[in-house]
Amino acid sequence: MRIEIGKFAGFCDGVKYAVEEAFLIASKTSDTIYVDGKLIHNPQTLDMLESSGVKTYTDDLGASTLNGKSVIIRAHGVSPERKKILIDNSNKVVNLTCKYVGRIQSIVKKHSNDGYRVIIIGNASHPEIIGILGFANKSDTFVVLKEESIDCLPTTSKKTLIVAQTTLEQKLFTKLVALIKEKYNENDITVKNTICNATELRQNEVLEIAERNDAVLIIGGKESSNTKNLYNIAKAIKPAFYVEYKKDLDSIDLSKYKNIGIMAGASTPDWFIEEVASSIKEEYTKKYKKAISKTLNFILDSYLSHAIAGILLSFAVYNILSQKFNYSIALIVGLYYFSMSLINGYTNHALKISDKNKYTLYQKNKYVFYTLIALSIIAMISLSYKEGIDALSLTVFSILMGIAYNVSFKNLKDSKIKYIKILSKLIPLKSLIISFAVTILLNGLIFLTNEDVLSEYRVLAFLFCISMVFLFMFMRQASIEIKSSQSDKIAGSTGLTTYINIKHLIALTSIMPVIVLMAMILGIVKGYYPLNFDKTKYFIPVIYSSIIFQILIRKPVYSNRYLFYLLIDTPLYLAGILALISYLFY
């Protein structure tokens, strides 16, 4: 079964901003925060908000409930009268109205004040429309959604403004505007197509997805207007199924379809789309493929793949430096990357959202993994002891720093331990710290156990090794951060994307391999770097890492999680395999 996920599926900018801001506000206080109505129409996200102390406020709770509390105005917006009530009864009001909804409010207010009749095409009971109505002259403002509603409009012609609900179906808007123009003098009518651009992109894409596939799954809340429209568009072309919860898949039989398209509403988080896609793949996969899938799942989730990557990368560094391979050093690096990643798996509280499969595996097998972590640390200390006091000191220092840094994830920002408080401030720099840790340990151990590493003809090669290891590690971590930024922010986690705009992070990460390649070429031109395949072959994984990164950032949601991790890890494997070829055949 082939699964295609729409590239515009999931959170729109307005919803993403509202959700991330709500969780950010919640992370800064232990007090209850209220949202005036449901922040968005997605049950999974609302459940998480509730567990984070963000509750939904409705009038039946009484205005006194808001006394001394912070209250959030949701993405749908509210009327000026409603906003005044919230301000008068709460300690603080945070306005998270979507900028596109705010634009409609401004347009309606201006034209209404200029004496225009206002016709809003949309659902009169939708919170967005209720809020917009508060900006208009109620006696001369009308809401229509069906053809028959047009017959109820005033018969006299006057200056008229027509706007649309941001999530309205484009086809319906065009149709109703044409009918309204037939009713009145067209010269008196001003039409503002206020359908959100993201809504239009989704609607166009779901048409294309339906045409390319045998059936379509629409993921989103049943109360979501834009999700309902996507479902109606899809089912007019192909068999379509509405999925609000993962359990909804139990009543859907997809066995007769070979190609499944997936589209999601603007309130649906990426991690839930991936969860649904993964469940479908698992359910309709043949037995032997399931066995392979479970094996790959364990290798990835247990971080055994990290151990392998660390060992292979060690091969590459030794080969570049023309040094005899040291299995002990390679094992130390592999075990370090493996054990610290496992520890991070237990301390990273965003994992429960971003990767439930991994989270479940860790909880079920925690004593097994705890034992593996302990054995790995013992093995690292034992192996480094045999390599000398310098290697032992660097290894022990790296282990202690790694453990302490990971412990700082466990909500210890209020810890009285000064060292832990300092480390907790470094959490946003996780990608940099992991990259530096592996780079320093691998290159540092080789430097400490090989006296001639910094001989005149090897200095550039050693600098290249440092650059290459850091490049591969950072590009891997940056790819994960960019992909997981949504779930991390929902969980209240911080990372580079919290402080660096994703576009800037992408630009920074994209230019890094170019700098490394330019340095290598300059070294060759100046005669500092040997122009032979045994050394220049490492151009291949550097170029490959750049290409893979560009592919990854263009696809935020993956139906196959193995593919994503395989792609981000292959530069490390490729470098190691190239080194192995040299050791075996040269």
d(CA 138, CA 440): 68
User: CA-based Rg of the chain, rounded to a whole angstrom?
Assistant: 29
Catalytic residues: 128
Cβ contact 320:583 at 8 Å: no
Output the DSSP codes for 433-470. Answer: HHHHHHHHHHHHHHHHH-GGGGSTTTHHHHHHHHHHHH
Number of H helices, E strands in the chain: 25, 12
Beta bridge partners of 200: none
CA atoms within 13 A on the CB side of 361: 17
First-last CA distance in the chain: 44
Please give the C-alpha separations between residue 169 and each of 113, 172, 278, in angstroms, as whole numbers: 28, 5, 29
CA 182 to chain centre: 47
Sheet hosting strand 33-36, strand order edge to edge: 54-57, 33-36, 70-73, 92-95
Please give the C-alpha separations between residue 258 and each of 216, 248, 359, in angstroms, as whole numbers: 11, 20, 30
Cβ contact 27:66 at 8 Å: no
Output the DSSP codes for 238-278. Answer: S-EEEESSGGGGGG---TT-SEEEEEE-TT--HHHHHHHHH
SS (H, E, C) 310-350: HHHHHHHHHHHCCCCCCHHHHHHHHHHHHHHHHHHHHHCCC
Sign of CA dihedral 400, 403, 407, 409: positive
- Coil, helix or strand for 537? coil
